[in-house]
Structure 1
Amino acid sequence: MMIKIIVLSGVILSILVQTTNSALTAGFTVHIINAPSNNDIPFSVQCESKDDDLGLKTPKVGDDYNFSFRGNVLGTTRFYCHYSWGSKKQFFDVFNSQMYQSRECGRIRENIFLHTKHTLSGNDYECFWKVQDDGFYFAAHNSPESYTKKYEWN
């Protein structure tokens, strides 16, 4: 009987944590825009977190590969990606606790009439990464003047 109570308590606690996590944390969308000068060399990216492997993707030039998630209640959500473009490779965090806490990503939209956050996707923030011949650029919003180079190809 005691084991059943412990198991049931664990299940209820797990459901409560997941529900609280979804309701209280911000939603994010990470965009990875493939923007080299040509498509002659195949490009691939594989993103993952501690809990999720999003699989190998091969976006074409101009494609916007993106994924959405909610940050965890501890603010420790981390997604990292492995990039490959011909003989060039790179690996870095596309989202981590520092970005979460400092809100480096751009707010999608706020309903000024109701003073509440409202987005069609349920996400509050977007992070943009642009992959180019000379490296990786980051921006809070997808506007050409807002990108800053963060990494070079290895």
Structure 2
Amino acid sequence: MLGIYLESLIIATPIDASKITIVPKTKVEMFNKLSNGAPLTIHCKSRDDDLGKHVLGAGQSYSFQFRVNIFGSTLFFCGASWQGGQIKFEIYNTDRDDYGRCNEYCQWEARDYAIVGFKEGESKSYDISLPWHH
């Protein structure tokens, strides 16, 4: 009797193996909030990927997506520059970001005084401020 009951609960459905994942993608986005329409140049890399150089006009953004690696050691770093300075920084570091800071979305802004980063869901006040080197 139990065998008949269990058989009626099994439903076969097609599975697209390319959509099966345990780890969601994380999106990192940098906004150019520099004054006077100043362009921002940004070049990001990981140990395995060079994402190339991008020039952002006033109000523009640049983003990329990835999955945190199985070892929990994902790290992306960037060099950013404009007429007011330059900086090299970690735009994503699993040790800092994957545990409540920005699991699925990391927002950054280039401002006149610094590069600033926001906790996920808190786009009004930043929690990281990295001043420009002149």
Which among 94, 102, 107 is matched to residue 97 of structure 1?
94
Q: Identity of paired residues, percent?
A: 29
Give how far 1:83 is off: 0.4
Q: Is the 8 A contact 1:45 1:57 kept in 2?
A: yes
Q: Does the alignment pair 1:151 with 2:130?
A: yes
Is the alpha carbon distance of 1:139 and 1:100 closer, same or farther for their aligned partners in structure 2, counting shifts above 3 Å?
closer
Which among 38, 45, 52 is matched to residue 48 of structure 1?
45
Deviations 1:23-78 (A, max 9, x none): 23231000100001122x43200001011111000011111210001010111000
Residue 25 of structure 2: aligned partner: 27
Residue 105 of structure 2: aligned partner: 126
Q: Is the 8 A contact 2:119 2:127 kept in 1?
A: no
State how far apart, in whole Å, the 2-side matches of 1:36 and 1:95 are: 21
State how far apart, in whole Å, the 1-side matches of 2:121 and 2:78 are: 20
Is the alpha carbon distance of 1:144 and 1:77 closer, same or farther for their aligned partners in structure 2, counting shifts above 3 Å?
closer
Give how far 1:141 is off: 3.9
- The normalised TM-score by structure 2 is 0.76
Q: Which amino acid aligns with 1:25?
A: V
Consecutive unaligned residues in structure 2, runs of 5 or more: 1-16
Consecutive unaligned residues in structure 1, runs of 5 or more: 1-18, 107-124
More helix by share: 1
SS at match of 1:38: helix
Give how far 1:101 is off: 3.8
Residue 121 of structure 1: aligned partner: none
Number of residues of Structure 1 aligned to a counterpart in Structure 2: 115
Which among 76, 79, 84 is matched to residue 79 of structure 1?
76
